[in-house]
Each structure stands twice: as C-alpha cells, then as structure tokens.
Amino acid sequence: MTVPRTAVAPWAAPEIAPATDVERAAQEWIAPYDQAWHLLRTRDWVVYLRPDAPMELRLAALVHDIERMFPGGPRLDLDTQAWDDPWYLFAHSTRSAEFVDGWLRERSDVTPEQRHEVCRLVALHEVGGLRGGDDLQAADSLSFLETLADPSVWIVSGAASADRAESKFRYSADRIRVPAAHEPAARLLAAALNGLPKKERT
C-alpha cells in the first residue's frame, strides 16, 4: 500500500522535478516503495537546505532508505530499542548503500566516483557527516516529520505507544545539526506532537 501524500505547507520545501536522467530513473526505481513520498520529499528538503546540492546529494536523498523495499532487512523493535541504536542504523544505512551501488553500476551515465559518493552519503544518512552528510540527515529528519510522523500510523495502527512515538518525533528533530533546518523542524515537530493523544503529553 502506498502511504498517502501529505499536503505541502506554503513555507515548506517546494516540490521539485528531477534535474538529471539518473534522478528521473531513481524516481521510477523507488516508485513501488510504500514510503516513496518520504524519499521524494527528502530530495526536496535537501535542495531547500542546499540549493546548490550536487547530483550525488540529490540522488542519495531520493534512495536513502531503499533497502526497506526489499525483504530480509534489519528490524528495529519500536517498543524497546533506542532510536539511535547504532547496530540497527548502520545495518539499515549500509544495506541501502549496497542496493544503491548495485543499481548505479548498471548505469553508463554515472562514474565510479559518483557512485561511490552517492553510496557514502546513503551510508551516512542516519548519523550525518561531512560533505553533505549532515545536510542529508537534516533533510531526512524534515521529511520524516512531514510525511511519516503521523499518529494514525504510529499509534492507531498499534505500531508504538504514544510515548514512544513522541520520543521518535523529538529524536528526529533533536539530531539535526544544520542551522537552516531548525526552524522548519520545530514547526513540523509541533504539528506532529499536536496530533498525539493529549493525556499522554503531560
């Protein structure tokens, strides 16, 4: 099932079109993934934060979670594990990078250096890093808060308790290091928290 698109607020990153053939192809590759909207918005947010974002950073944003489209990946216990559990985060990030590496190897318009750079960024997307790593992590957080911090998904579906959902939403905002992302993150976080059951928010 495809997760429904969320409305884009007037102050949020505008929706943008792919800038290259490989970016267009990436959008087709991720289309069957049920969180493709989150990936598209991560690309939009990374360009919002870095209008000069290179092709590799835009592409990494578009595919950063793609391992979840393929069965057999690592699992995080939503009730008990820390949101920054490194064993889960590194397994998830590097598995995504491996799928991206395989997909990019088939393309003649991507050099080995470009492929390595996309995979480096994908592998760093949860923890951030230099040369675009922090930008991608911030864009992922903004897009998560915009497209996936949905109480109907986290609580009504029984995926997690309200307290756990709140801690996940706050973690996504708190991990951001890019100054330009702090204000939109605060707005998105406030909206997400506002959707949680009130009695849990004391």
**Chain positions contacting Fe ion, by CB under 5 A:** 65, 140
* Least CB distance to Fe ion at residue 5 (A): 16
Smallest distance, Å, CB 94 to Fe ion? 15
CA pseudo-torsion sign 81, 83, 84, 89: positive
Nearer to Fe ion, 44 or 65 (CB): 65
Burial class of residue 101 (count of CB atoms within 10 Å of its CB; 0-12, 13-18, 19+): middle
Check if the beta carbon of residue 139 is closer than 8 Å to that of residue 122. Answer: no
HEC secondary structure over 150-171: CHHHHHHCCCCCHHHHHHHHHH
We find the least distance from the C-beta atom of residue 39 to Fe ion, in angstroms, to be: 7
For residues 95 and 73, the answer to whether their CB atoms sit within 8 Å is yes
**Residue recorded with tokens 């595919």:** 63
By the 8 A CB rule, do 148 and 45 touch?
Answer: no
CA dist., res. 169 & res. 131, Å (int): 26
CB closer to Fe ion out of 42 and 200: 42
- Minimum CB distance to Fe ion, residue 98 (Å): 17
Given the complex with Fe ion, which of 149 and 196 has the nearer CB atom? 149
CB of 177 to Fe ion, least distance (A): 16
Are residues 61 and 50 in contact, defined by beta-carbon separation less than 8 angstroms? no
Shorter beta-carbon distance to Fe ion: residue 23 or 65: 65
CB of 110 or CB of 139, closer to Fe ion? 139
